[in-house]
């Protein structure tokens, strides 16, 4: 995989948009809509995968359909300067953490947590808090999604306008 900035043109953007709308669309169908042959579309998709623009194909599932009905964001405050690598090790041990990032401001990290219910969330929170370098956590429960088609709500993400890097969430593996 190429670690540099991936370059792609307007045709690539249209192919990415088509795959994000439905990753099961055939290369022939995509080619027909963007003015390329199926073979040319396949070559471009292969290149986009090799350069890391397309990172994979996945199913997007409504979290509540899997029983994850409680959602929260957790600010994590560490003793001293906990290295991001150590934080990453911790969050990987908790399948309920769906996203985690280091942040600016008072907190050291922000976690997106999904759980079956409040009791399950509390249990997850206690497992996080037992880490020796975690000083405190502050949690905010999600009541509703004001933008229901956002990725956080379980929807697919659209390709950002020109100048932004694409984020791929597609429906299935080819």
Q: 10-residue block means of pLDDT along the chain (174 residues)?
A: 63 94 92 96 96 87 89 94 84 93 94 97 96 94 89 57 34 29
Distances (CA, A) of 82 to 91, 97, 106: 13, 18, 13
**113 and 73 in contact (C-beta within 8 Å)?**
yes
In this prediction, residue 148 carries a pLDDT of 83
pLDDT at 1: 43
Let me know: does 58 contact 170? Beta carbons within 8 Å.
Answer: yes
- Classify each residue of 140-173 as buried b or exposed e, where b means 16 or more C-beta atoms within 10 Å of its C-beta: eeeeeeeeeeeebebebeebeeeeeebebbbbee
Q: What's residue 86's pLDDT?
A: 87
Of 11, 54, 84, nearest to 168 by C-alpha is 54
* Whole-structure pTM value: 0.70
Distance CA 12, CA 8 (A): 6
Q: In the prediction, which pLDDT does 155 show? A: 60
Q: Which of 19, 7, 6, 22 has the alpha carbon at shortest distance from 45?
A: 19
152, 101 contact by CB (below 8 A): no
* Predicted local distance difference test score (pLDDT) of residue 126: 96
User: Does residue 171 contact residue 59 with C-beta atoms inside 8 Å?
Assistant: yes
């Amino acid at each position: 995989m190429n670690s540099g900035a991936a370059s792609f043109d307007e045709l690539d953007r249209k192919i990415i948009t088509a795959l994000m709308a439905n990753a099961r669309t055939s290369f022939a169908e995509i080619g027909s809509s963007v003015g390329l042959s199926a073979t040319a579309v396949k070559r471009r998709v292969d290149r986009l995968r090799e350069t890391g623009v397309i990172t994979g194909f996945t199913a997007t599932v409504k979290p509540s359909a899997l029983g994850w009905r409680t959602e929260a964001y957790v600010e994590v405050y560490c003793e001293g300067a906990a290295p991001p690598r150590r934080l990453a090790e911790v969050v990987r041990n908790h399948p309920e953490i769906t996203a985690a990032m280091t942040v600016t401001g008072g907190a050291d990290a922000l976690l997106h947590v999904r759980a079956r219910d409040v009791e399950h969330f509390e249990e997850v929170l206690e497992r996080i808090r037992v880490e020796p370098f975690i000083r405190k956590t502050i949690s905010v429960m999600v009541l509703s999604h004001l933008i229901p088609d956002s990725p956080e709500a379980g929807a697919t993400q659209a390709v950002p306008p020109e100048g932004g890097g694409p984020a791929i969430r597609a429906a299935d593996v080819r």
